[in-house]
Amino acid sequence: MAPKRVLTALHTVAFTAIAGATALLVSLAPAYADPTPAPGDIEAQIEQKWNALEPTIEQYNAVHGQLAANKAKSDNLQAQLQPLQLQVDIAMSKVGDIAAGVYKGGPGSTVNAVLASGSPTSLADQLTLLNMIARTQHDQISSVATVRDKFAGDKKSLDSLIAQQAKQDADLSAKKKQIEDQINQLQKLRQQAYGSSGAATGVLKPVNCPVEYIGGPAGIAAQKACSLIGKPYIWAAAGPNGYDCSGLTMVAWAAAGVRMDHLASSQRRQSKSISRAELRTGDLVFFGSDTHHEGIYVGGNWMVHAPHSGDYVRMVQLTGYYANNVSGYGRPA
């Protein structure tokens, strides 16, 4: 073999060997996946997105509650209108009977009455009496009719408001799918961060609940909230199978005999504003400048709340994110 051809062959073998070794090294090198977001980062994203979603839920709670209340008022007005209309109908019937009697008597009867009595005074008295009866009947009818018309007017205005609220209720309900789709995306993020082991839910009740016992209605409310730990978060729900944030606190205080609306902002208005230093078991803790979230304080810097969809009623400490986003405290009366 010529020297040149030998060198070419050697170069080819060397190149092939180097290429093979390089391929082997590449195949043995560890494969690096995209870094998984840290759990803390995921939770921060979830909280941020949920804070954008929860006001819509609270708005739905407000409109839905008002709609239900106004429908009940309308039904009540309708129930009051029926007997009023009946009274008007009966009174009109009586007036009709009187008028029919006079009509049947006719002018001839009037003359006969004068001749029989021999005195025109009797006729005058009869006409006066008839006029008084007619005026009394008219007054009765007018009085009842005025009340009836007022109720009818109130019902008409209320029905117009109900129609408007029903549209708002339907529009907000239509957003439910959109909200749930976004929540599902949040849960996928959680699965990426935590896997499918369920670690995302954490420990729901890491310490005794309530941490600090208190007597009276506040103690009852706190104990009720503690008893609901582990129930799933359900959008706009107030039990028994699941709760949202204001549904949980409403039911907790209802157990103590205190009625509040199913709306965080309303519950804030219905509670006495207190300072952080005054906070005690049973008090409410509000979040967001628009008061779109809340929990119930159970002592020891812990609260019970319904966080968001995909999570459960749980205890959390008022530290970090929660401590930084508190917008106020309230004590239901």
- Rounded to 10 deg, the angle between the 245-254 and 39-117 helix axes is 60
CB-based contacts of 332, cutoff 8 Å, min separation 6: 217, 221, 253, 258, 260, 267, 270, 271, 272, 282, 284
Burial 286-303 (b: 16+ CB within 10 A, else e): bbbeebbbbbbbbbbebb
Cβ contact 37:193 at 8 Å: yes
What single-letter amino acid sits at 90? I
Catalytic residues: 245, 293, 305
Note the Cα 328 to chain centre separation in Å.
20
- Rounded to 10 deg, the angle between the 39-117 and 120-194 helix axes is 170
